[in-house]
Amino acid sequence: MPLRNAHPSVRAGGAGRTDEALPPPAERRSPRPVRGSRTERLAPYVLIAPTALIILALRLYPLLLGVNFSFTGDGERNGTAVGVDNYRELFGDPLFRTALGNVGLLVLLLPVAVAIPGLLATFIYLRVPGHRLYRSVYFFPAVLSPVIVGAIFNLLLAFDGPLNAALSRAGVSPVDWLGDPDVAMFAVVGVHVWATFGMALVVFLAGFATLDSALLDAARVDGASLLRVIWHVIIPRLTRTIQFVFVTTMIGMLTSMFGLLYVMTSGGPEGSTYLPEYYIWIQQGQMNRPALASAASTVLFVIMLVVGLLQITLLQRAGRDD
């Protein structure tokens, strides 16, 4: 291959018209279409083709296919157009409505899920005694699979498990964490936060690394309280990071709790811990209703699109502030 390229002088001469001082062989600086042999010109396409093919065929095309599916029927009506029947059925299904309600609950809990790692990151940044250790300990559950985390918490949250044992020692009556429809969803979200806050913590710390420490020192010299430092120095300087954590935490809640739900509650008790992703899986894999599942997928995608667009708007606003 290098042999084909053994005429750099010719190419340099060609490029020399635009730039006489340097003889750059690089296509990058040339405003004209790339010169050189055919193989060389095709090289970028050869390098990028497999990736483009895979992403188009196995990511974007299925998305269109899925939206299309959602307007066709299941079972006997397989393949025929049924209009919005699937969506009508979907929103009439109490399980799916529970799933949407739980999404609402996640949105409400989102600030807590962001504030916890944010506060911890602040303390670590301010060099609490032992901050290095905390950082690596807190991050560690984030590398465990939700399935493993779920299995472990099945043991811990069992009615006769360690948590209830500890509570009873403190004089609190035991709670049926995973068996009580009013409690189970909170228990699962709590475990999800336990398992993922380290991820957000690391993102926050990366944001802190860009902070000008002179500002903090100045605030300290002025005798500002910690709350004031957080409110007036840290939050305004870290808006981008905070927004990023908000969005990734939300997306994480919408798309990476399947393992926990599958292992800890299987959507129960009484369907109280359904989320859209779990609903999709049940309809596709267990109920053999792929078209209905596709409709649920489309709804989930719209929810995520709203989250994503919100991020872009917020980021642009923050960009203007800068």
Binders of another protein in range 278-317 (CB under 8 A): 280-281, 284-285, 290, 293-294, 297-298, 300-301, 304-305, 308
Comparing CB distances to another protein, the nearer of 34 and 182 is 34
- Return the number of the residue (249 or 272) whose C-beta is nearest another protein: 249
The secondary structure of 241-260 as a DSSP string is HHHHHHHHHHHHHHHS-HHH
Stretch that binds another protein, among 91-99, 101-109, 167-175, 257-265 (CB under 8 A): 257-265
Cβ atoms < 10 Å from Cβ of 217: 10
Which residues 6+ apart lie within 8 Å of 69 measured at CB?
A: 290, 291, 294
Looking at residues 122 to 151 of the shown chain, list those that interact with another protein (rule: CB under 8 A). Answer: 123, 126-130, 133-141, 143-149, 151
Q: From the CB of 176, what's the least distance to another protein, in Å?
A: 17
| Chosen residue from 77, 220, 232, 317 binding another protein by CB under 8 A | 220
The CB-of-129 to another protein minimum distance in angstroms stands at 5
**Least Å from the CB of residue 218 to another protein:** 11
The alpha-helical segments, DSSP class H, found in 126-183 are 131-139, 146-156, 162-169
Q: Give the residue with the Cβ less far from another protein, 4 or 88.
A: 4
Q: What b/e string do you get for 87-126 counting C-beta neighbours within 10 Å, with b at 16 or more?
A: bebbeebebbebbbebbeebeebbeebbeebbebbbebbe
Q: Which of residues 36-65 bind another protein (CB under 8 A)?
A: 39-40, 43-45, 47-48, 50-52, 54-63, 65
- Indicate the residue among 13 and 182 with the shorter CB distance to another protein: 13
> Is 19 strand, coil or helix?
coil
Q: Is 66 helix (H, G, I), strand (E, B) or coil?
A: helix
Token pair for residue 295? 């409709």
CB-based contact 198:135 (threshold 8 Å): no
* Rg (the chain; Cα; Å): 27
Asked if residues 292 and 90 have their Cβ atoms less than 8 Å apart, the reply is yes
Structure-token pair, residue 200: 């957000």
> Nearest distance from residue 88's CB to another protein, in Å?
19
Comparing C-alpha atoms, which of 248, 274, 250 is closest to residue 261?
A: 274
Instruction: In angstroms, give the least distance from the CB of 182 to another protein.
Output: 23
Q: Which of residues 190-209 bind another protein (CB under 8 A)?
A: 194, 198-199, 202-203, 205-207
Does residue 276 bind another protein (CB under 8 A)? yes
Task: Single out the residue of 205, 202, 187 nearest to residue 140, CA to CA.
Answer: 202
At closest approach, how far in Å is the CB of 109 from another protein? 18
Q: How far is the CB of 309 from another protein (least distance, A)?
A: 10
82 binds another protein per the rule CB under 8 A = no
Find the binder of another protein among 82, 95, 224, 310 (CB under 8 A). 224
Q: Between residues 79 and 236, which has the closer beta carbon with respect to another protein?
A: 79
CB of 186 to another protein, least distance (A): 17
